[in-house]
């Protein structure tokens, strides 16, 4: 066992011991504190002699411990701490620390704290709950490898109608956006976003869709705008989804203080078939392009990155799963050689303790 | 008759002018190539263009843009005394709005800086073991999808890790921002460049 893994195990042991002591105390005073620990283990291995971009190693990609409970008769709280491997060391950070309520105003829920922003599909779920191993290209480019989180306030309102229509809107600090290793700077306009979503359930089909918008103007007066669509369709067969179709499509525009505007767009589509409650197979299709790419002469340059990722998932229960994915990525750009990458990913996820219920 | 002729000439002039104009911002002059990679002169200065080297003083921008925000550059060059070479990444076609890595020579001492249009950071302490009077060869990653741009510099390695980097901006010498474009180029001053290539970033963030 490497020194990194030994230190990680020791830290997790301390955290588990602490959580168990809290749980004992909680069970004594009836506070209802729940604890969940999730471990996401991923290996990536090149399938060709050329560099496929994989590390050829198996690592603990992430571990997460979550505490959640009712705080009092009105509010609920969640604290989620995650460890990621960076520079060979376990880097601990708070993923979520928020207080929320849905009991003040009928149909209105409100959250204050640090959280993953309520836009799109993947960004609203922890990475270990995704139906595939790694982020699609468009998600990685626009939201980072595990999504965008920030501190602020978010409200969600369910309209009183016969049709399910929900509006989520939020404002967060926006000092940073995406992968950053410093505190960032106070933006000219903080990050603000909204998502309008709906849900339909004709017969055995469940269909959830959403339209999202996000914007931010950095301290350097660079304006970021994102607009996207997300959709999930499920056909249930008893207690498991016989068929799942998940997709997102996003457009991003970045306008610097001086210089040309940059526009990019991308999408993924993931159909999955459930053979049984334990076994499912899917194949994700990815596409990404920089729409505004020009050469030094000002001529537009056609470019694209596309890929398909066949994925096989085995779940012994909702608490343990194993996944195999084969990534085929192709990058094309005018005047340049087409590059291809092929690598395999192996994933194992396990959850200890209770896990919060998920959205559809 | 004369008025009709004049009006016809003016109309013909404008129709030719409109027909020939396009939205392209062709601000660069004729193309050259370095080892098969095409570039334009931004500032022709006193540059001498050969197919295997560029030397003198001036600036160039490589024609093909980088679609990705993570790029790896390999440079081989020599500097005359008081000379310098600046690699600019993620820039506009006039090399503004980018993020730069600059090397300059004073005797055998190599000075290195990370710069943008408005500020610079001295990172020379990472290069005190380099003899600036000889042939110089560096490889660098610019991860422009991070804020600020994450820059690593290596020399003489075949595997690119944080541990064997001569310089890592996350360990001190933080870059003064990010680049805003997709083009890259070089600014030479009493320098001679024999190799300049770009590929996808070599160091993979965990």
State residue B51's pLDDT score. Answer: 93
**B147 with A177: Cβ contact below 8 A:** yes
pLDDT tens sequence across A202-212:
878 999 999 99
State residue B7's pLDDT score. Answer: 52
Q: Is residue A8 part of a domain?
A: no
CA distance A8 to A199: 41
Overall number of domains in chain B: 1
Tell me the residue range of the domain where A319 lies. 101-350
In 3D space, the residue among B36, B97, B67, B59 whose CA is nearest the CA of residue B201 turns out to be B67
State residue B2's pLDDT score. Answer: 54
State residue A317's pLDDT score. Answer: 92
State residue B30's pLDDT score. Answer: 58
Q: Is residue B181 part of a domain?
A: yes
Residue A58, H or E segment: strand A57-70
CA distance A252 to A290: 9
Find the CATH number of the domain harbouring B110.
Answer: 2.60.120.560
CB B67 within 8 A of CB A339: no
Among chain A residues, the shortest Cα distance to B95 is held by A296
State residue A21's pLDDT score. Answer: 39
State residue A286's pLDDT score. Answer: 98
pLDDT tens sequence across B61-99:
999 999 999 999 999 999 999 999 999 999 999 999 999
Cis, peptide link before residue B148, omega less than 30° from 0: yes
What does each C-alpha distance from B138 to A258, B81, B85, B165 come to in angstroms? 30, 19, 12, 10
Q: Say yes or no: B142 contacts chain A, CB-CB below 8 A.
A: no
Q: Is residue A281 part of a domain?
A: yes
Q: Say yes or no: B145 contacts chain A, CB-CB below 8 A.
A: yes
Q: Say yes or no: A103 contacts chain B, CB-CB below 8 A.
A: no
CB pairs under 8 A between A and B: 94
Mean pLDDT computed over every residue of chain B = 88
Q: Is residue B7 part of a domain?
A: no
SS3 category, A178: coil
Rounded to a whole number, what is the distance in Å from the CA of B112 to chain A's nearest CA?
A: 22
Backbone angles phi and psi of A73, in degrees to 5: -70, -15
State residue A284's pLDDT score. Answer: 98
Contacts of B129 (CB under 8 A, 6+ apart): none
Among chain B residues, the shortest Cα distance to A297 is held by B26
What does each C-alpha distance from A146 to A121, A159, A245, B170 come to in angstroms? 12, 30, 20, 21
Q: Is residue A44 part of a domain?
A: no
Residue A349, H or E segment: strand A339-353
State residue B88's pLDDT score. Answer: 98
Q: Say yes or no: B24 contacts chain A, CB-CB below 8 A.
A: yes
Token representation of residue A356: 């919060």
Q: Is residue A303 part of a domain?
A: yes
Chain A residues whose CB is inside 8 A of the B26 CB are: 297-298
CB A96 within 8 A of CB A116: yes
Token representation of residue A187: 């933006």
Overall number of domains in chain A: 1
Among chain A residues, the shortest Cα distance to B94 is held by A296
Beta-carbon neighbour count of residue A91 at 10 Å? Answer: 12
Rounded to a whole number, what is the distance in Å from the CA of B41 to chain A's nearest CA?
A: 10
Q: Say yes or no: A2 contacts chain B, CB-CB below 8 A.
A: no
Tell me the residue range of the domain where B182 lies. 30-200
pLDDT tens sequence across B102-139:
999 999 999 999 999 999 999 999 999 999 999 999 99
**B62 with A293: Cβ contact below 8 A:** no
State residue A287's pLDDT score. Answer: 98
For residue B24, give the nearest of A259, A298, A336 by CB distance. A298
Q: Is residue B12 part of a domain?
A: no
User: What averages of pLDDT result for each successive group of 10 residues across chain A (360 residues)?
Assistant: 49 44 41 90 87 83 94 95 80 93 95 97 94 96 93 97 96 90 90 97 90 96 97 92 97 92 97 97 98 96 97 95 97 91 96 76
Beta-carbon neighbour count of residue B202 at 10 Å? Answer: 20
In 3D space, the residue among B204, B115, B100, B103 whose CA is nearest the CA of residue B162 turns out to be B204
CA distance A38 to A354: 10
**A87 with B162: Cβ contact below 8 A:** yes
Chain A residues whose CB is inside 8 A of the B25 CB are: 294, 298
Q: Is residue A27 part of a domain?
A: no
Find the CATH number of the domain harbouring A219.
Answer: 2.40.160.10
More confident residue, A165 or B28: A165
Q: Is residue A82 part of a domain?
A: no
Backbone angles phi and psi of A239, in degrees to 5: -100, 5
State residue A54's pLDDT score. Answer: 84
Q: Is residue A51 part of a domain?
A: no
Q: Say yes or no: A50 contacts chain B, CB-CB below 8 A.
A: no
For residue B25, give the nearest of A222, A262, A298 by CB distance. A298
CA distance B156 to A233: 52
Q: Is residue B13 part of a domain?
A: no
Token representation of residue B28: 């660069």
Q: Is residue B24 part of a domain?
A: no
Token representation of residue A18: 């602490």
- What pTM, to 2 d.p., does this model score? 0.87
CB B147 within 8 A of CB A176: yes
Q: Is residue B6 part of a domain?
A: no
Q: Say yes or no: B94 contacts chain A, CB-CB below 8 A.
A: no
């Amino acid at each position: 066992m490497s020194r990194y893994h030994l230190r990680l195990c020791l830290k997790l042991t301390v955290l588990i011991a602490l959580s168990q002591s809290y749980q004992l105390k909680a069970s004594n005073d009836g506070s209802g504190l729940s604890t969940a620990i999730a471990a996401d283990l991923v290996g990536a291995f090149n399938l060709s002699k050329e560099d496929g971009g994989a590390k050829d190693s198996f690592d603990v990609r992430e571990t997460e411990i979550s505490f959640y409970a009712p705080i009092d008769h009105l509010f609920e709280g969640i604290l989620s701490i995650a460890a990621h491997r960076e520079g060979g060391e376990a880097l601990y950070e708070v993923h979520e620390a928020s207080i929320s309520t849905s009991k003040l105003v009928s149909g209105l829920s409100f959250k204050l704290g640090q959280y993953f922003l309520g836009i799109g599909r993947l960004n609203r779920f922890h990475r270990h709950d995704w139906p595939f191993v790694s982020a699609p290209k468009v998600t990685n480019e626009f939201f980072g490898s595990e999504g965008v989180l920030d501190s602020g306030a978010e409200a969600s309102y369910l309209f009183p109608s016969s049709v399910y229509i929900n509006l989520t809107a939020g404002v967060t600090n926006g000092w940073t956006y995406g992968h950053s290793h410093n505190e960032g700077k106070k933006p000219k306009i903080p990050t603000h976003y909204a998502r309008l979503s709906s849900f339909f359930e004709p017969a055995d089909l469940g269909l959830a869709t959403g339209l999202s918008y996000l914007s931010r103007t950095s301290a350097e007066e660079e304006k970021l705008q994102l607009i996207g669509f997300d959709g999930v369709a499920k056909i249930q067969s008893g207690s498991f989804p016989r068929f799942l179709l998940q997709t997102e499509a996003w457009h991003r525009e970045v306008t610097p203080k001086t210089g040309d505007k940059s526009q990019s767009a991308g999408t993924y589509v993931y159909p999955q078939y459930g053979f049984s409650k334990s076994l499912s197979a899917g194949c994700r299709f990815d596409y990404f392009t920089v729409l505004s790419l020009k050469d030094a002469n000002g001529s537009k340059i056609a470019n694209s990155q596309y890929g398909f990722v066949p994925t096989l998932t085995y779940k012994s229960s909702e608490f343990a799963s194993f996944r195999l994915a084969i990534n085929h990525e192709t990058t094309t750009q005018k005047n340049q050689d087409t590059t291809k990458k092929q690598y395999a990913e192996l994933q194992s996820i396990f959850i200890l303790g209770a896990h919060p219920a998920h959205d559809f | 008759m004369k008025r009709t002729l004049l009006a016809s000439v003016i109309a013909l002039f404008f129709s030719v002018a409109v027909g020939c104009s396009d939205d392209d911002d062709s601000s660069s002059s004729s193309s050259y190539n370095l080892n098969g990679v095409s570039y334009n002169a931004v500032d022709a200065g006193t540059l001498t263009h050969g197919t295997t080297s560029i030397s003198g003083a001036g600036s160039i921008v490589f024609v093909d843009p980088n679609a990705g925000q993570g790029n790896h550059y390999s440079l081989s060059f020599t500097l005359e005394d008081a000379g310098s070479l600046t690699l600019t990444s993620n820039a506009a076609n006039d090399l503004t709005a980018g993020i730069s890595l600059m090397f300059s020579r004073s005797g055998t001492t190599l000075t290195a800086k990370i710069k943008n249009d408005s500020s610079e950071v001295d990172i020379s302490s990472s290069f005190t073991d380099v003899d600036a009077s000889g042939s110089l060869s560096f490889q660098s990653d610019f991860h422009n999808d991070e804020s600020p741009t994450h820059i690593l510099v290596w020399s003489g390695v075949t595997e690119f890790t944080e541990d064997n980097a001569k310089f890592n901006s996350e360990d001190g010498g933080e870059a003064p921002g990010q680049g805003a474009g997709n083009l890259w180029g070089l600014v030479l001053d009493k320098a001679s460049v024999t190799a300049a290539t770009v590929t996808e970033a070599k160091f993979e963030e965990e």
